[in-house]
Amino acid sequence: MNLIQIRNITKVYDMGEEKLYALRGVDLDIGQNEYIAIMGPSGSGKSTLMNIIGCLDTPTSGDYILNGKDVHEMDDDELAAIRNKEIGFVFQTFNLLPRSDALHNVELPLIYSGLNKSERIKKAEESLVNVGLGDRMKHKPNELSGGQRQRVAVARALVNNPSIILADEPTGNLDTRTGEEIMALFKELNLKGNTIIIVTHEEDIAKHANRIVKIRDGKIESDTSKKKAE
């Protein structure tokens, strides 16, 4: 069974007099250990789709089954639990807590999972070592470079062993070289067995993925897998 099953999802924003159709019926299946890029121009609905996949938002209609769990009708707190256990977010702007050091930032999802302190520290340290930041654990975000911050964010995304890593323009705030480093990190994680979904509008970034889904006007325009294309 696929990790993600999305069936005929729509998302409509009610703007008073007019309705805004962000998604107009999307079907998408994503399997275990896939590396997929979702592309599209701004306003295409790709952010909305990402929010729904990431359980930050719920669809207006349609079905969404994530790792066997039917999430399209869950309430806020149930979605929070799903986000905590099943999804690791990596954002364009890193979204680290500025007053907390790297270790605490990575520890945070584990706090919300209710792990005890020693286990949390152990896992968070492992995760930071995994992304090559074993020597930066006590640094606060403003003491780290952009690439290092994004690595902290990746470590945070990984720490709870989520089903999917969901990265939204993960290189958008990084220079090309650092961006490539992050993409190499994702590649490595994918090879280790992680399922990775990247949302981007850059072809250069999307080409790292094994499958590219293009969205336009709230619908899937194309869905190409690299292996087939090659």
Binding site for another protein (CB under 8 A): 51, 54, 56-57, 76-77, 80-81, 83-85, 89, 91, 95-97, 99-100, 108-109, 111-114, 116, 156, 160
Given the complex with another protein, which of 11 and 208 has the nearer CB atom? 11
- Cβ proximity to another protein: between 72 and 156 the closer is 156
CA distances from 157 to 28, 32, 34, 111, 171 (A): 23, 17, 17, 14, 15
Q: How far is the CB of 149 from another protein (least distance, A)?
A: 13
Taking the C-alpha atoms of residue 123 and residue 117, their distance in angstroms, rounded to an integer, is 10
DSSP tag of 132? T
The distance of closest approach from Cβ of residue 57 to another protein in the complex, given in angstroms and rounded to an integer, is 5
Q: In what order do the strands lie in the sheet with 4-15?
A: 18-30, 4-15, 61-66, 69-70
**Alpha-carbon distance 110 to 118, whole Å?**
11
Give me the least distance between CB of 85 and another protein, in Å please: 7
- We find the least distance from the C-beta atom of residue 177 to another protein, in angstroms, to be 27
Q: Which is nearer to another protein, 77 or 230 (CB)?
A: 77
